[in-house]
Amino acid sequence: MLALGALSCTLVACSTRTSEREIRPWFKETTRFFKFGSFAEGPDGRTYKARHFGFLWLSIDDVSSAVALSDDVVLLDQGSKGKSVLTRDAYSPTPVCPMYGEVSVPPSTATVDCLLVNSDPEWGGPGVRKMTIKRTNFDGTIAYEKIIEVADKDHTFEKFNFYGPTGSAYFLARSIASWKDKNAAPDCRLLHGFGQDTRVAARRPDITDVTLCFRSETWEAQIGPTVARWDTIKYPGSRRTR
């Protein structure tokens, strides 16, 4: 196969080049570009390296993308291994969320949140009845891991959350009726707290369009400024900013 590729490049001009991007002075991304004949040049793989002792660059395995969280911490997407944090001078990343979890970065904190759906074989309805939130410090230590539950039998969670200015997490729930009938009122609400202490922090029974429930400005009058989960971090290639 390699011989065939070499022969093809002999018959048709091939070229390669690499480009480096400094994510932090101690962490960089190297992209390899490949061009075959007259076809447009395209990326042919990326590698990520961390610097140690001021001069030694060591590769980090199985990383598909990376984004800086602070001067000393980067968040890594490691595919099937999930999301991890790598701190300056550390030789290996620390897992913070499995592949199927949702990651966000609470404002005004040095932490990463991972939101996980809990398996509930007895629940056959729409949405999610119970989730786990795990908050991990940038250094990889766990700040807390808590279960959140819906407050009543008429609502279920969306797999979505908001944050207050200091990083307090609020979880979006909507009526089960609106899952089944698009004309039914979603009766959106934000829940706060954990486990049996999960309580309603804000309600918008007046909303008829469920998409409004996902907007931060919908909740500002009741609980002040909020930040939607997907706006807490800027991933490579995303148009969103902090």
Q: What is the 3-state secondary structure (H, E, C) of the chain?
A: CHHHHHHHHHHCCEEEEEEEEEEECCEEEEEEEEEECCCCCEEEEEEEEEEECCCEEEEECCCCEEEECCCCEEEEECHHHCEEEEECCCCCCEEEECCCCEEECCCCCCEEEEEEECCCCCCCCCCECEEEEEEEECCCCEEEEEEEECCCCCEEEEEEEEECCCCCEEEEEEEHHHHHCCCCCCCEEEEECCECCCEEEEEECCCCCHHHHHCHHHCHHHHCCCEEHHHCCCCCCCCCCC
Q: Is the pLDDT of residue 92 over 80?
A: yes
Full strand arrangement of the beta sheet holding 155-163: 199-204, 188-192, 169-175, 155-163, 227-228
The answer to whether the CB of 104 falls within 8 A of the CB of 91 is no
In this predicted structure, the answer to whether residue 238 has a pLDDT above a threshold of 60 is no
What pLDDT is stored for residue 124 in this prediction?
A: 80
Mean pLDDT, rounded, for 189-213: 92
Q: Which residue has the tokens 């550390």?
A: 90
pLDDT band at 235 (very low <50, low <70, confident <90, very high): very low
Least confident of 9-18, 196-205, 232-241: 232-241
Band of residue 12 on the pLDDT scale cut at 50, 70, 90: low
**166-199 pLDDT, tens per residue?**
899 999 999 999 999 989 999 999 999 998 889 9
- pLDDT tens by residue, 94-146: 999 999 999 999 988 899 999 999 887 777 888 889 999 999 999 889 999 99
Q: Please state the rounded mean pLDDT for residues 32-52.
A: 69
**How many other C-beta atoms lie within 10 A of the C-beta of residue 140?**
17
d(CA 26, CA 72): 8
Place of tokens 């592949």: 99
pLDDT tens digits along 19-37: 788 899 999 999 876 665 5
Sorting pLDDT into bands at 50, 70 and 90, what band is 83?
very high
| Mean pLDDT score across all residues of the chain | 84
Supply angle C-alpha 208, 213, 217, rounded to 5. 115
| Beta-carbon contacts of residue 234 (< 8 Å; ≥ 6 apart) | 67, 240, 241, 242
| pLDDT: which is higher, 86 or 42 | 86
Question: According to the model, what pLDDT value does residue 143 have?
Answer: 95
Residue 68 reports pLDDT greater than 50:
yes
- pLDDT (0 to 100) of residue 122: 78
Quick check: 163 pLDDT over 80? Answer: yes
